[in-house]
């Protein structure tokens, strides 16, 4: 059951991305193109999602624990650091350039557009590079 719920969540997420048009990078870029071929759809996607998550999260968190796990893994940080801002700014530039963010890019992978086949491996490499930079140095290397 817990395996099914995870598979279902992934399928639901991907289907939502396709139905909403967000698996189409042109639609994302048109949302960002305020002075050109503007398409406001993306705002409706975020609105539709938040309309469900806001009350949904509130209800779920009335429980002491999740259904198949012993604790909620929720982010607890409230501080602002340079990493957050620089990371988000970098992410936005890449998102604008390709019209892809991680969810839609992975959902698009089976459609095998050549651009997607360039984007996804590069994205994974970018993640690994960031993890290496962000990870504390192993003790044996510390001077």
Tokens, residue 9: 């969540």
| Residue 143 makes contact with another protein by CB under 8 A | no
Q: Which of 34, 137, 141, 143 binds another protein (CB under 8 A)?
A: 34
Size of the site for another protein (CB under 8 A): 117
Residue 64 or residue 143: which is nearer to another protein going by CB?
64
CA nearest 108: which of 126, 94, 123? 123
Q: What's 70's DSSP letter? A: S
List the interface residues with another protein, window 36-95 (CB under 8 A): 36-37, 39-42, 44-54, 56-57, 60-61, 63, 65-69, 71-75, 77-80, 83-95
| CA dist., res. 45 & res. 40, Å (int) | 9
Residue 21, by phi and psi: left (phi above 0), alpha (psi -120 to 50) or beta? left
Residue 8 or residue 143: which is nearer to another protein going by CB?
8
């Amino acid at each position: 059951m817990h395996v099914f719920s995870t598979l279902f969540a992934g399928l639901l997420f991907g289907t939502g991305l396709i139905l909403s048009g967000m698996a189409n990078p042109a639609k994302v870029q048109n949302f960002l193109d305020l002075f050109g071929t503007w398409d406001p759809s993306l705002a409706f996607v975020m609105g539709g999602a938040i309309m469900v998550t806001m009350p949904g999260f509130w209800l779920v968190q009335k429980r002491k624990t999740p259904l198949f796990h012993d604790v909620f893994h929720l982010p607890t940080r409230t501080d602002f650091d340079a990493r957050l801002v620089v990371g988000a700014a970098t992410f936005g530039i890449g998102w604008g350039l390709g019209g892809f963010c991680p969810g839609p890019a992975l959902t698009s992978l089976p459609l095998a557009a050549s651009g997607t086949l360039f984007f996804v491996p590069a994205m994974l490499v970018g993640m690994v590079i960031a993890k290496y930079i962000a990870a504390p140095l192993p003790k044996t290397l510390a001077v």
